[in-house]
Amino acid sequence: MTYPPNVRTAPEHEQASPPATVPAPPHRGVLSTTAGRVRAAATTEPGRLQIIGAVLALLVVAFGAVTAFEVADRESAASDVVGRSQPLSADAAAVYRSLADADTAAASGFLAGAQEPKDVHDQYERDIKEASRLLVKAAANTDSATRSGQEIATLNVELPRYTGLIERARANNRQGLPLGGAYLRYANQKMSNVLLPAAERLYTAETGRLGEDNESARTWPFLSLGLGVVALAGLFWAQRRNYRRTNRFFNHGLLVATAASTVILLWLAVGHTVARSQLHAADVNGQQSLDVLNHARIDSLKARANENLTLVARGAVLTPDGKNDKYESDYTTDMKALREALGNAGGLAEDDRGKSPVEAAVTAATEWQERHRAARTTDDNGDYEGALEQIIGPKESTGRSFQQVDDALAKALAHEQDQFTRAAEDGRGALWGLSAGAAALAVLGAAAAIVGINRRLSEYR
């Protein structure tokens, strides 16, 4: 092969290699790509307007969504207060009261002799049936693994045992056998040491759950309020910016978005303030009074049962130190607790309808104690029949005084329950419609903000 002059052919091993491949630029992620586009858009006024519109719409939608979520949560808690936790607390108190009343009726019937008065027997049967019914209802609305569920299980097991002991006491009493008194005392011990403590723990657990629901419903929606302030600040800033660049006072779209956000924020603040106030009133003026009155009524029932058992036992059961009659000592303790509870109830009552029955109960309790002292003096003097008449007789007996106390407390409880229900329902009602309204207004506000920004963008086309 002939080569042109002065052209040197490189050796084969020195011949040029193919050009090296230039590496492709690294693949950019979605976030970095988006950030780049935003930075590029921010260099022009139309791009900046698009960013502002998106941020404003996002803020308003987030404000509405968070408000709807938080309000729905508080409205649900308020509904639980009205429809679940407070009724369960009231039912637990009714179980406690029914058991104590059944024990009182059993002791009263035993004292009356072999032929138990029909009205006393019927009262006992009603109390046992009511307690059983409420326990079935509570079990259906309570998780068995919870503390309340465990107490309900205990009550369901022990209540039939108690009623069995009462029936044995009655059977022996009808036959005139002293063993009846022993069965009655054993039944009272089971009631005092097992059933009533379990009922009290159930009531405490349900009342605690009521307090938690009430507190949840009253918790301030700080996130919603904070987002509302931020959204309004952003809208005001955007309108001020628009005014400084165009010398126009109003942008109708941004104005509508501001109005919608303002309505949501004011509705949220006012509605939640009213709900919080009413639920607080339901707690302070209703539930706290109910709690004190329930304990007062139970104290009176326990005092009455111990008063009756003082005559049944006739000094056979002594305090641990062996110096005093156990049932008389327990009566004194219960009456002291009753007087203290009545004093607290009087202080919590906020109107005459609440104070009047409490005052009547105080008067009847004072009379009860005076009659009890007279009956004890009669019994200590060896006149058992006279003391019995002073305890269970139809006129001027301690039984009449006890009934007056119980009737007055029942009236006070009915009034306070009405106060609680009305206040709690008003609290729940203050939140009605706010969740859906906030969502709808947020959508309207976001759309209006976008329309308002688009009107400015159209000037650049």
As a three-state string, the secondary structure of 270-294 is HHHHHHHHHHHHHHHHHHHHHHHHH
**Residue 247 Ramachandran class (φ > 0 left, ψ -120 to 50 alpha, else beta):** left
Mean pLDDT, the chain, as a whole number?
87
Is 291 within 8 Å of 214 (Cβ atoms)?
no
C-alpha–C-alpha distance, residues 9 and 14, integer Å: 10
Q: Which whole number is the average pLDDT over 354-382?
A: 93
Is 405 within 8 Å of 361 (Cβ atoms)?
yes
CA 319 to chain centre: 40
Q: Residue 14: its pLDDT value, please? A: 46
Cα torsion 132, 92, 402, 382: sign: positive
Task: Say if residue 230's pLDDT is above 90.
Answer: yes
Q: Which whole number is the average pLDDT over 345-367?
A: 92
C-alpha–C-alpha distance, residues 412 and 416, integer Å: 6
Q: Which whole number is the average pLDDT over 444-457?
A: 87
Share of the chain above pLDDT 70, in %: 89
Low-confidence winner among 10-24, 170-184, 408-422 (lowest mean pLDDT): 10-24
Q: Residue 181: its pLDDT value, please? A: 86
Write the single-letter amino acid at 117. Answer: P
Share of the chain above pLDDT 90, in %: 58
Q: Residue 8: its pLDDT value, please? A: 46
Beta bridge partners of 212: none
Backbone angles phi, psi at 98, to 5 degrees: -65, -40
C-alpha–C-alpha distance, residues 272 and 268, integer Å: 6
Nearest to 405 by CA among 252, 300, 329: 300
Q: pLDDT tens-digit profile of 28-66?
A: 565 666 555 656 555 677 778 888 888 999 999 999 999
Q: pLDDT tens-digit profile of 101-119?
A: 999 899 888 888 778 888 8
Is residue 325 helix, strand or coil? strand
Tokens of 129: 């049936």
C-alpha–C-alpha distance, residues 263 and 267, integer Å: 6
From the number of C-beta atoms within 10 Å of its C-beta (0-12, 13-18, 19+), residue 204 rates as: middle
Q: Could you tell me the pTM of the whole model?
A: 0.79
> How open is the CA angle 294-189-310, to the nearest 5 degrees?
85
Tokens of 220: 């301030």
Q: pLDDT tens-digit profile of 390-436?
A: 998 888 899 999 999 999 999 999 999 999 999 999 999 999 999 99
Is 431 within 8 Å of 75 (Cβ atoms)?
yes
Q: pLDDT tens-digit profile of 58-106?
A: 999 999 999 999 999 999 999 999 988 889 999 999 999 999 999 989 9
Per-residue confidence band for 7, with pLDDT thresholds at 50, 70 and 90: very low
C-alpha–C-alpha distance, residues 299 and 294, integer Å: 9
- Which residues does 296 contact at the CB level (< 8 Å), separation at least 6? 338, 341, 342, 345, 361, 409
Q: Residue 10: its pLDDT value, please? A: 46
Q: Where are the alpha helices (DSSP H) in 81-146?
A: 86-111, 118-140
C-alpha–C-alpha distance, residues 195 and 206, integer Å: 17
